[in-house]
A = this chain, B = another copy of it.
Amino acid sequence: MNPSPDQVPERLTAKTSWLLKELAVQAGRLSHEAFGAAGAKPYWYPLLAALAEFGPSSQAELGRRCRIDRSDVVAAVNALVADGCVERTADPVDRRRNVITLTASGRERLGVLDERLAAVQRELLAPLDTSERTQLTDLLWRLLAERTPERGDRPAP
């Protein structure tokens, strides 16, 4: 029936970096499907989440918090504005900045995406019990936290 499970070289299965990449690809597929089916483009979820949790922000702030490049934030915010999820207004006190504000329909959208993403996590983490899940999250977070400080934003050229 199945056309060979096909062994993976031990050199790969022993490398955390390889496991991370492979799993990230799978998780990406699932998330992409889930978001696409909900009519959301890439980057929308993190952006909406940041706005919901920290309130109106500049685009640069959004990028730093979600670890998304400034230039990609521009495009995503354009799409979010066009979709009515956020509003973009000029900051009166610092006229370089745009203030991005979550709208009611943006908050609603976030709710939907929250559910979809939760379903993805459930599927992804199916093989683990509850304590293992928190264990995994903890380990991953510690790794990420360690190598996060130096690049809050693009360094000034």
Question: B-contacting residues of A (Cβ < 8 Å)?
Answer: 2-28, 30-31, 45-46, 49-50, 52-54, 61, 64-67, 114, 117, 120-121, 124-128, 132-133, 135-137, 139-149, 152-153
- The DSSP consensus for interface residues of chain A is helix
The reply to whether B133 and A19 contact each other, CB–CB distance below 8 Å, is no
- On chain B, the residues within 8 Å of A139 by CB distance are 128, 132, 135-136, 139
The reply to whether A4 and B121 contact each other, CB–CB distance below 8 Å, is no
Q: Nearest 8 A-B pairs (CB), nearest first?
A: A24-B24, A17-B27, A11-B49, A19-B140, A6-B64, A9-B49, A127-B146, A20-B24
The reply to whether A50 and B142 contact each other, CB–CB distance below 8 Å, is no
Candidates B22, B45, B53, B126; contact of A10 at CB < 8 Å: B53
The reply to whether B117 and A15 contact each other, CB–CB distance below 8 Å, is yes
Q: Bound complex: CA of A139 vs CA of B149, how far in Å?
A: 26
A140's nearest neighbour on chain B, judged by CB, is B19
Shortest Cβ distance from A8 into chain B, in angstroms?
A: 6
Candidates B10, B11, B14, B143; contact of A23 at CB < 8 Å: B143
- On chain B, the residues within 8 Å of A52 by CB distance are 9, 11
The reply to whether B17 and A121 contact each other, CB–CB distance below 8 Å, is yes
Candidates B9, B126, B143; contact of A124 at CB < 8 Å: B143
The reply to whether A17 and B5 contact each other, CB–CB distance below 8 Å, is no
Candidates B3, B16, B23, B128; contact of A121 at CB < 8 Å: B16
